Amino acid sequence: MSDYDYDLFVIGAGSGGVRASRIAASHGAKVAVAEEYRIGGTCVIRGCVPKKMLVYGSMFAEELGHADKYGWTIEGATFDWNALRSFVMADVDRLEGLYGNTLSSHEVELFRERATIAGPHEVTLASGKTVSAGTILIATGGWPSVPEFPGNDLCITSNEVFHLEQQPKSLVVQGGGYIAMEFASIFNALGTEVSVINRSDKVLRGYDVQIVERMLHIAMERGIDFRMSCEIEKVERDGDCLLVHTGTENPIRADQVLIATGRKPNSEGLGLENVGVELAGNGAIKVDEYNQTSCESIYAVGDVTDRVQLTPVAIREGHAFADSVFGGNKRTIDYDNIPSAVFTQPPLAGVGMTETEARSQYGGVKVYTSDFRPMKNLFSDHVERGLYKMIVDDTSGKILGIHMIGPESPEILQVAAVAVKAGLTKQAFDDTVALHPSMAEELVLLK
Catalytic residue numbers read 436
- Measured CA to CA, the distance from residue 164 to residue 175 in angstroms comes to 20
Element (H, E) at 62: helix 48-65
Give which of 167, 206, 161 is closest to 180, Cα–Cα. 161
257 in Cβ contact with 244 (< 8 Å): yes
Q: How far apart are the C-alpha atoms of 198 and 437, rounded to whole Å?
A: 39
4 DSSP assignment: S
**DSSP states of 289-305:** TTSB-SSTTEEE-GGGG
DSSP classification of residue 284: P
Cα(319)–Cα(324) distance, integer angstroms: 9
Q: How far is CA 18 from CA 26, 46, 57, 165, 327, in A?
A: 12, 16, 29, 31, 16
Distances in whole angstroms, Cα of residue 220 to Cα of each of 80, 102, 167, 296, 306: 25, 44, 21, 51, 32
**Cα–Cα distance for residue pair 373/217, rounded to 1 Å:** 15
Task: Tell me the three-class secondary structure of 409-447, residue by residue.
Answer: HHHHHHHHHHHHHCCCEHHHHHCCCCCCCCCHHHHHCCC
413 contacts 353 by C-beta, under 8 angstroms: no
Tell me whether residue 2 is exposed, middle or buried, using C-beta atoms within 10 angstroms of its C-beta: 0 to 12, 13 to 18, 19 or more.
exposed
Q: Could you tell me whether strands 348-352 and 340-342 are parallel, antiparallel, or unpaired per DSSP bridges?
A: antiparallel
Question: CB–CB of 40/165 below 8 Å?
Answer: no
The DSSP output letter for 138 is: E
